[in-house]
Amino acid sequence: MIWNIYLIILTYFLLGGIGFYLINRKKDPIITRKSYTKFIVYFFIVSGLFFSITIEPVVFRYLTVVIAAVGVVELNHLFRMSKYSQKRFFFLSLTIFVLLSAGFCYFGTLDKNLILFTFLVLSIFDAFSQITGQLWGKRKILPRISPNKTLGGMVGGACVALASAFLLRKLVNISPVSLLFLSVGIILFAFIGDLAASYYKRKYEVKNFNELIPGHGGFLDRFDSLVAGGAWVALYSQLAGI
């Protein structure tokens, strides 16, 4: 079953690669190179997390702690770089992130099939919201916070992610209604988490948290949606008893 699911991931990446080709074929070579770098690095991140969940779940549990800890470091880094400006905003942001991180770390202890389901839905939403947004997105949602977020991208990514959730429903074995609530919550929390990270960067007038991950703007830039989405699943698993 693991390899069948991974084959699905590879198929999605193939479709994504075609989408990126259509998006970048007429763009400047430098922009194209950055886009493909981001795409390739994202593939290795997704593959690494996938196998950490499916083959040795304890590795993923440690990774949740690492991601949360590095996130705190990145938030503090921008705060220090600003010479400790906007203290109230920083401490409020830090408090929210710590609460989400606590949920995320608990999420890492749940059943591996539920973790895998969440991770796949999140990854599909994240990838296809970018692809469909660049192909068909015209109306920007919150241009001052995240200028690349479009209504078309969000709707396109959500539709592909929800359809995929029902294809992967055997992983969680819950009712269709619970599956819908779980999946919609994952998508909403992922989207809000991504916006929150972008808003934090805008408040401190930077484009990226750092350049640790090639093609990405830091750990939080890559894992913000996973932290928020995982926190939602941790909460929902307690409320719904799954």
Q: Quick one: tokens of 153?
A: 């991208």
Nearest residue to 190 (alpha-carbon basis) of 137, 123, 94, 101: 123
Map tokens 């401490």 to a residue.
Answer: 91
* pLDDT profile of the chain (242 residues), mean per 10: 79 78 73 77 88 89 94 93 92 96 96 94 88 77 79 89 91 92 95 92 86 76 92 93 77
Give the number of other CB atoms < 10 A from CB of residue 43: 16
Q: Residue ranges per domain, the chain?
A: 2-240
108-to-35, 101, 193, 194, 233 alpha-carbon distances in Å: 30, 11, 18, 20, 10
Query: In angstroms, rounded to a whole number, what is the distance separating the alpha carbons of residues 116 and 87?
Result: 37
